[in-house]
Amino acid sequence: MSVRVLLSAVVLAQPMGGVRRHNAQLLPRAAALLESQGGSLAILEGSSRAPFELPASVMRLSSSVPAHPVLARATLEGRALRRALEQEREAGRPFDLVHTAHLPVPRGLPLAYSLTIHDLRALELAHTPMSRRLFARKIIGMAVERAACVIAVSEHVRAQLLERFQLDPARLCVVPNAGDHFSPLPRQPREGARILHVGHLERRKNLELLLRTLALDPSLPALLLAGESKQGEAERLRELATELGVEGRIEFLGGFEETRLAQLYAESACVVLPSHLEGFGIAALEAQRAGVPLAVSRTPALLEVAGPRAPNFAPDDPAECARAIHAALGRGQAELEADAAAAARFSWQSSAELLVQAWTRAARAQPR
């Protein structure tokens, strides 16, 4: 069955992170698979163009939909999607499915849609106000209940969705992220190699724990934070580092070019991911593929991705975090090679195949 998919890409012009990585790696592969089956992929871009390469076969539909504020986006996005669907139908090229990877999903779409859920942070983070949690539950619940197919990025997220919304398991599938988007370099940690954290600087990443861990254990290496800051988190962490007396042992790299990723891993002493909440944990796979010692918090998605051998710690315990970092630094080459082999079970190509299969099933289930 050939399938034409219209994907809403109005929020994809964001700094590199899990959502952008997911789409940048999956969409070109999914487009090629659809085309090989006689179908096609089109994307509806917003006021900013999706900042990654796509095959020439992918139709880019333009719109003025802003990524923010959310209410304006939701209203304008629905109009733009309906207009694109109508224009292509009138041109004799009707779409079979709409796909979106963000919330809220516009109401009143005249076609079945699929939805990717990356995590349930709005429902789970401890500092999220109850009023926002109730609103988020309503928005997410309405979206997943109406979707022809709901795609989770991990088994953990899938289990959460089943538990919270009592969905039909047949409408839920897992399309995991992967880590094979860069070629690892040979390990070259020099004297003074640092602990590395790759990812946005935001409250849910729990980077405060790493600062408190450094303050507790002066024998640990210094820390390099590589990623864009969100909502003033870098400034908050700088102030805390000064208060704890560890400001000289922390470097804030900020955003970095994609070409530096392999070098960052090759030169690091180890990677530590202390998140309170993750939907997947791409950095864990990246570290394992690069042969870097890894320690993770006991966050379900990180444990799922990193596997049972990775040293782990409670996300609120600096002493336990320090012990896990020392355990990671002490791991032997054979253990690191076993981790790299385990990480190879995830690939962007296999995930793209799962995504296209999910789209095809969802489209097939709708009246044509």
236 and 295 share a domain? yes
pLDDT digits (tens, 9 = 90+) for 267-286: 999 999 999 999 999 999 99
Instruction: Give the span between the Cα atoms of 126 and 180, in whole angstroms.
Output: 33
Look at residue 126 in the predicted model and tell me its pLDDT. Answer: 62
- Domain hosting 46: range is 4-178+347-364
Residue 184 lies in a domain: no
Nearest to 176 by CA among 152, 212, 208, 201: 152
User: Is there a single domain that holds both residue 161 and residue 281?
Assistant: no
Q: What is the DSSP string of 14-25?
A: S-SSHHHHHHHH
Lowest mean pLDDT: which of 47-51, 124-128, 287-291?
A: 124-128
DSSP conformational letter for 10: T
Distance CA 346, CA 154 (A): 11
Q: 266 Cβ partners below 8 Å, 6+ apart?
A: 184, 185, 186, 187, 188, 189, 290
> What DSSP character marks residue 171?
G
Same domain membership, residue 351 and residue 294:
no
Domain at 92, CATH number: 3.40.50.2000
Cβ–Cβ < 8 Å for 154, 137? no
pTM of the model: 0.93
- Alpha carbon distances (Å) from 128 to 111, 123, 134, 143, 203: 33, 7, 10, 20, 11
Confidence at 210, pLDDT banded by 50, 70, 90: very high
Same domain, 17 and 36: yes
Q: Is residue 190 one of the residues assigned to a domain?
A: no
Does residue 156 sit in the same domain as residue 256?
Answer: no
pLDDT tens track for 283-312: 999 999 999 999 999 999 999 999 989 999
Q: Which residues are 40's β-sheet partners? A: 4
% the chain with pLDDT above 70: 96
Helices (H) and strands (E) in the chain, counts: 13, 13
Write the CA distances from 140 to 24, 102, 126, 228, integer angstroms.
Answer: 24, 10, 18, 27
Under a CB-based contact definition with an 8 Å cutoff, are residues 120 and 29 in contact?
no
The residue-averaged pLDDT of 242-252 equals 98
Whether residues 164 and 121 share a domain: the answer is yes
Q: Give residue for tokens 């030169």.
A: 267
Model confidence at 252, pLDDT cuts 50, 70, 90, reads very high
Claim to verify: residue 219 and residue 322 sit in the same structural domain = yes
Do 330 and 351 lie in one domain? The reply is no
Higher pLDDT, residue 345 or 49: 345
Q: Identify the residue with better confidence: 344 or 365.
A: 344
